[in-house]
């Protein structure tokens, strides 16, 4: 492993320790980005080889979803060793090379940290299973006796996010049915007991391991779930709200944990950061995660779920800037990730479509992908103009739609399996990326293997096709990212202009941003259009599109 001083020499960190305030961060989903060894699963070397394309795109950093040793029951969010790389993805040496290459290109690297649960194959959980009830090993996780005369009922009514009960009963080492353990996700993802000092210490070691390897930060998985009500009361979903969030989401105890982590990161002076994945609302509550002594950023999912409507978007943008601004944190802007239906498809569906459990072959949807793509491109110009930090999920820059018709037998999401196919889950947004139109697996690898099948229509969306087409979505992202940098939009002040039922418009960084939500073209005010999400129609902005304008005088 390179020494710290060598890392610092190659790291872009240090040039601006507050880089995360305005950064555009590209999410790499390792299984689906690029597959260097051709086994059908993306890998670390594939990512390293693809970094040039991301640098060309113009992002500031990458965030890697988990690549740690794992049985892959939840695509790596079930970690069996936090300090090693799963052989399907490569080796620690490959990660060192990736970090070095990224830093050489001026890209920072954020990795995923999964502290709410481990894999049931983790040595710590195996030791807990082999130990007696009440032992220190069991105390690392949440084991309890069951209810009922023989302990045959789970300790309470908590449900797994993936469907079914959140408790599984074990066989004790002597072979008799015994205690139950908690898993808010899959049965193979037992929750840690974060009141355990032993667990807290292990995670400090894990943070140090990766910090000293040169990573620039962590995206913290389920950052709102670590603190459970020790009384384990039943979950009354009707009583839960942002202010009384229920017995395990958004409880106050999590903040002490992050204060300790922040203090640790602050001992590195070169801009290491934490970003919370916390599905908490309202925004004022979420802002508690990014108070100055805690995390640096939190994903703004409220923005992601806001419907395509000018006043709804104005409200969430205004509230985000105000809630995060009140604690001195930047807002983040997120349009998609590996857990939600892809943007182009989402915006091509009626706004009342239930997307919470994914969509698939049998979902009755009235989908218009042409409208979806137009709106997604407009949403991109809106988002990349906003002050703060933006996240881009791989494939968003290619305008990829959700893959709805994945054959049942190919689906892999635990949601699909735990609900016997009732909920489709997230495979449709995780299909391997198309790089080149005329190669096997569209250049994802050279063998044609792919862990989820790619639709034939993705040939036209391949990166090489889009690179040479000045009207492509890829070129739109690239140009918007370039202009965002030139005009320092991430650090700009936003002032509202027009907001009506059909238009959203504001000024930022000397630019005027206009989004036309109506079904007719909109006359533009004086000024030069520097980028638009669709070609202008006789000088007017078409329906469902957006433009950035600059005053001619300001250019001169
Ligand atoms: C959130 C992650 O983004 C998701 O993919 C995962 O299944 C759950 N957390 C559990 O780790
Ligand atoms: Ca591979």
Pocket lining: 221 vs ligand 1, CB cutoff 6 Å: yes
CA distance 464 to 358: 29
Pocket lining: 162 vs ligand 1, CB cutoff 6 Å: no
Pocket lining: 278 vs ligand 1, CB cutoff 6 Å: no
Contact between 418 and 165 (Cβ < 8 Å): no
CA distance 182 to 269: 38
List the residue whose alpha carbon is closest to atom 5 of ligand 1.
339
Give the residue with greater pLDDT, 245 vs 520.
520
**Residue 185 CA, closest ligand 1 atom number:** 10
pLDDT tens-place string over residues 35-58: 999 999 999 999 999 999 999 999
Contact between 401 and 458 (Cβ < 8 Å): no
Pocket test for ligand 1, best of 190, 221, 304, 414 (most atoms within 8 A of CB): 221
Point out the catalytic residue in the list 43, 86, 277, 402: 277
% of the chain surpassing 70 pLDDT: 95
pLDDT greater than 90 at residue 192: yes
Sole residue written with tokens 């892959």 = 72
Give the ligand whose atoms come closest to the C-alpha of residue 412: 1
Q: Is 234 helix (H, G, I), strand (E, B) or coil?
A: coil
Q: What confidence score (pLDDT) does residue 244 get?
A: 63
| Nearest C-alpha neighbor of 475 from the set 391, 380, 369, 550 | 380
**Segment 462-490 mean pLDDT:** 98
**Segment 441-455 mean pLDDT:** 98
Number of neighbours of residue 281 by Cβ within 10 angstroms? 15
Number of neighbours of residue 231 by Cβ within 10 angstroms? 7
- Backbone dihedral angles phi then psi of residue 524, each to the nearest 5 degrees: -95, 150
List the residue whose alpha carbon is closest to atom 11 of ligand 1.
77
Pocket lining: 340 vs ligand 1, CB cutoff 6 Å: no
Q: What confidence score (pLDDT) does residue 429 get?
A: 98
CA distance 486 to 466: 23
Average pLDDT, the chain: 94
Q: What confidence score (pLDDT) does residue 239 get?
A: 72
Pocket lining: 339 vs ligand 1, CB cutoff 6 Å: yes
138's enclosing H/E stretch is: none
List the residue whose alpha carbon is closest to atom 6 of ligand 1.
77
Is 260 annotated in the active site? no
Q: CB within 8 A of 164, min separation 6: which ones?
A: 418, 419
pTM of the predicted model, to two decimals?
0.96
Pocket test for ligand 1, best of 77, 278, 304, 358 (most atoms within 8 A of CB): 77
Number of neighbours of residue 95 by Cβ within 10 angstroms? 25
List the residue whose alpha carbon is closest to atom 4 of ligand 1.
339
pLDDT tens-place string over residues 131-189: 999 999 999 999 999 999 999 999 999 999 999 999 999 999 999 999 999 999 999 99
pLDDT greater than 50 at residue 3: no
Q: What confidence score (pLDDT) does residue 362 get?
A: 84
Name the token pair of 424: 């489709």
pLDDT tens-place string over residues 194-221: 999 999 999 999 999 999 999 999 999 9
**Segment 101-113 mean pLDDT:** 98
| Nearest C-alpha neighbor of 104 from the set 15, 9, 212 | 9
- Backbone dihedral angles phi then psi of residue 377, each to the nearest 5 degrees: -65, -40
Point out the catalytic residue in the list 221, 288, 302, 402: 221
Q: CB within 8 A of 549, min separation 6: which ones?
A: 511, 512, 513, 514, 524, 525, 527, 528, 529, 530
Q: Is 140 helix (H, G, I), strand (E, B) or coil?
A: helix
Exposed, middle or buried, 383 (CB in 10 Å: 0-12/13-18/19+)?
buried
Q: What confidence score (pLDDT) does residue 240 get?
A: 67
Name the token pair of 492: 């700009």
CA distance 392 to 385: 13
For residue 88, the CA-to-ligand 2 centroid distance in Å is 6
Q: Is 491 helix (H, G, I), strand (E, B) or coil?
A: helix
pLDDT tens-place string over residues 294-329: 999 999 999 999 999 999 999 999 999 999 999 999
CA distance 272 to 290: 14
Strand pairing report for 68-69 and 61-64: unpaired
CA distance 342 to 397: 11
Q: Is 165 helix (H, G, I), strand (E, B) or coil?
A: strand
Give the ligand whose atoms come closest to the C-alpha of residue 41: 2
Pocket lining: 77 vs ligand 1, CB cutoff 6 Å: yes
- DSSP-H helix ranges across 160-282: 197-211, 254-266
Q: What confidence score (pLDDT) does residue 246 get?
A: 82
For residue 452, the CA-to-ligand 1 centroid distance in Å is 19
pLDDT greater than 60 at residue 1: no
% of the chain surpassing 90 pLDDT: 92
For residue 310, the CA-to-ligand 1 centroid distance in Å is 30
Pocket test for ligand 1, best of 28, 74, 418 (most atoms within 8 A of CB): 74
CA distance 86 to 403: 27
Q: What confidence score (pLDDT) does residue 534 get?
A: 98
Pocket lining: 222 vs ligand 1, CB cutoff 6 Å: yes
Is 368 annotated in the active site? no
**Residue 74 CA, closest ligand 1 atom number:** 7
112's enclosing H/E stretch is: strand 108-113
For residue 449, the CA-to-ligand 2 centroid distance in Å is 9
**Segment 91-100 mean pLDDT:** 98
């Amino acid at each position: 492993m390179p020494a710290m001083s060598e890392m610092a020499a190659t790291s872009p960190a240090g040039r601006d320790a507050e880089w995360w305030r305005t950064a555009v961060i590209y999410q790499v989903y390792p299984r689906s980005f690029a597959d260097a060894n051709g086994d059908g699963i993306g890998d670390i070397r594939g990512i390293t080889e693809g970094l040039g394309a991301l640098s060309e795109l113009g992002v500031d950093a990458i965030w890697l979803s988990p690549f740690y040793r794992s049985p892959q029951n939840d695509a790596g969010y079930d970690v069996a060793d936090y300090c090693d790389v799963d052989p399907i993805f490569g080796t620690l040496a490959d990660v060192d090379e990736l970090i070095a290459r990224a830093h050489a290109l001026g890209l920072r690297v954020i990795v995923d940290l999964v502290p709410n649960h481990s894999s049931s194959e983790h040595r710590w959980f195996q030791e807990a299973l082999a130990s007696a009830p009440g032992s220190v090993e069991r105390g690392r996780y949440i084991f309890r006796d069951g209810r009922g005369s023989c302990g045959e009922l789970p300790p309470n009514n908590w449900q797994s996010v993936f469907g079914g009960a959140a408790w599984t009963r074990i066989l004790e080492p002597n072979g008799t049915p015994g205690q139950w353990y908690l898993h808010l996700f899959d049965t193979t993802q037992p929750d840690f007991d974060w009141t355990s000092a032993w667990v807290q210490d292990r995670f400090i070691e894990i943070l140090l391991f990766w910090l000293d390897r040169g990573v620039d930060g962590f995206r913290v998985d389920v950052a709102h779930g670590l603190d459970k009500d020790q009384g384990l009361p039943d979950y009354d979903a009707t009583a839960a709200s942002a202010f009384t969030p229920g017995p395990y989401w958004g409880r106050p105890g999590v903040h002490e944990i992050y204060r300790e982590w922040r203090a640790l990161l602050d001992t590195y002076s070169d801009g290491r950061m934490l970003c919370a994945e916390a599905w908490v609302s309202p925004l004022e509550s979420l802002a508690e995660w990014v108070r100055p002594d805690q995390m640096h950023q939190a994903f703004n999912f409220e923005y992601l779920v806001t419907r395509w409507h000018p006043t709804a978007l104005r409200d969430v943008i205004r509230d985000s800037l105000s809630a995060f601004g009140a604690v001195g944190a930047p807002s983040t802007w997120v349009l998609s990730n590996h857990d939600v239906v892809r943007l182009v498809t989402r915006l091509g569906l009626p706004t009342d479509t239930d997307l919470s459990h994914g969509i698939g072959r049998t979902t009755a949807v009235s989908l218009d992908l042409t409208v979806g793509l137009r709106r997604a491109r407009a949403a991109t110009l809106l988002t990349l103009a906003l002050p703060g930090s933006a996240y881009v999920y791989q494939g968003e820059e290619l305008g990829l739609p959700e893959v709805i018709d994945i054959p049942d037998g190919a689906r892999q999401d635990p949601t699909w399996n735990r609900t016997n196919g009732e909920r489709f889950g997230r495979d449709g947004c995780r299909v391997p990326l198309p790089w080149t139109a005329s190669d096997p697996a569209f250049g994802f690898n050279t063998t044609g293997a792919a862990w989820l099948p790619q639709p034939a229509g993705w040939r036209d969306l391949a990166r090489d096709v889009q690179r040479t087409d000045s009207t492509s979505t890829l070129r739109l992202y690239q140009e918007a990212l370039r202009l965002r940098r030139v005009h320092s939009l991430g650090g700009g002040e936003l002032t509202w202009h027009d907001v009506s039922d059909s238009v959203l418009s504001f000024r930022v960084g000397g630019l005027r941003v206009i989004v036309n939500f109506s079904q007719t073209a909109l006359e533009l005010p004086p000024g030069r259009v520097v980028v638009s999400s669709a070609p202008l129609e006789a000088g007017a902005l078409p329906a469902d599109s957006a433009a950035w304008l600059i005053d001619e005088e300001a250019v001169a």
